[in-house]
């Protein structure tokens, strides 16, 4: 599935010495990938099947099947576990603890926000 404003390129330029000469490397996007809104997939990247690329990510490196990549440059933050049918955090980023740490909540009684950025 490919969202809007997705950009996939298999080349760069050999700038400045080679001018606009092309430096190319194939891009391979596995079956069942979901490329989020506005992401860019750069030359030489191979995404295994079933990967998710977050909105506005810039993917500069390859990733194995069932990886979730976000950010600039994109990093793998979750992996899909077929055993549990869940996306599991691939590191501290994306974990429930991290999310709770970063959550802001609005208190209607004090009418103020609490939490940390
Ligand atoms: C990638 C995506 C699917 C992840 O959803 P999710 O599993 O609910 O992920 P989480 O909200 O748990 O995010 C995991 C971590 O990645 C970060 N993250 C999620 N999406 C991100 C993005 N697009 N860019 C940068 N960071 C992102 C979160 O902030 C979180 O980091 P933290 O642990 O430091 O707080 C979703 O955020 C996304 O980008 N969806 C694309 C939407 C889109 O393009 N829709 C068009 C319809 S086709």
- How many residues appear in the chain? 117
50 lies in some domain:
yes
Per-residue pLDDT of the chain (117 residues; tens, 9 = 90+): 999 999 999 999 999 998 899 999 999 999 999 999 999 999 999 999 999 999 999 999 999 999 999 999 999 999 999 999 999 999 777 777 777 776 777 788 888 877 655
Site to probe by mutation for ligand 1, drawn from 4, 54, 117 as the one with most ligand atoms within 8 Å of Cβ, is 54
- Specify the pTM: 0.89
Nearest to 58 by CA among 74, 80, 35: 74
Total structural domains within the chain: 1
28 lies in some domain:
yes
108 lies in some domain:
no
Report the pLDDT value the prediction gives residue 117, as an integer from 0 to 100. Answer: 52
106 lies in some domain:
no
39 lies in some domain:
yes
Report the pLDDT value the prediction gives residue 95, as an integer from 0 to 100. Answer: 76
**Domain containing residue 42: CATH number:** 2.160.10.10
Site to probe by mutation for ligand 1, drawn from 55, 58, 91 as the one with most ligand atoms within 8 Å of Cβ, is 55
**Whose CA is closest to atom 38 on ligand 1?**
54
79 lies in some domain:
yes
Report the pLDDT value the prediction gives residue 113, as an integer from 0 to 100. Answer: 78
35 lies in some domain:
yes
44 lies in some domain:
yes
- Determine if ligand 1 sits within 6 Å of the CB of residue 32: no
> What's the domain range around 26?
7-13+22-90
Report the pLDDT value the prediction gives residue 116, as an integer from 0 to 100. Answer: 57
Measured distance CA(55)–CA(70) in Å, rounded: 7
């Amino acid at each position: 599935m490919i969202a809007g404003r997705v950009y996939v390129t298999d080349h760069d330029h050999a700038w400045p010495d080679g001018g606009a000469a092309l430096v190319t490397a194939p891009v391979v996007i596995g079956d069942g990938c979901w490329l989020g809104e506005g992401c860019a997939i750069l030359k030489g990247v191979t995404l295994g099947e079933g990967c998710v690329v977050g909105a506005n990510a810039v993917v500069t490196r390859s990733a194995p099947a069932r990886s979730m990549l976000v950010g600039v440059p994109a990093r793998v933050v979750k992996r899909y576990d077929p055993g549990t049918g869940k996306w599991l955090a691939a590191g501290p980023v994306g974990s429930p603890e991290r999310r709770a740490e970063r959550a802001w909540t609005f208190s209607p009684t004090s009418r103020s926000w609490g939490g940390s950025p």
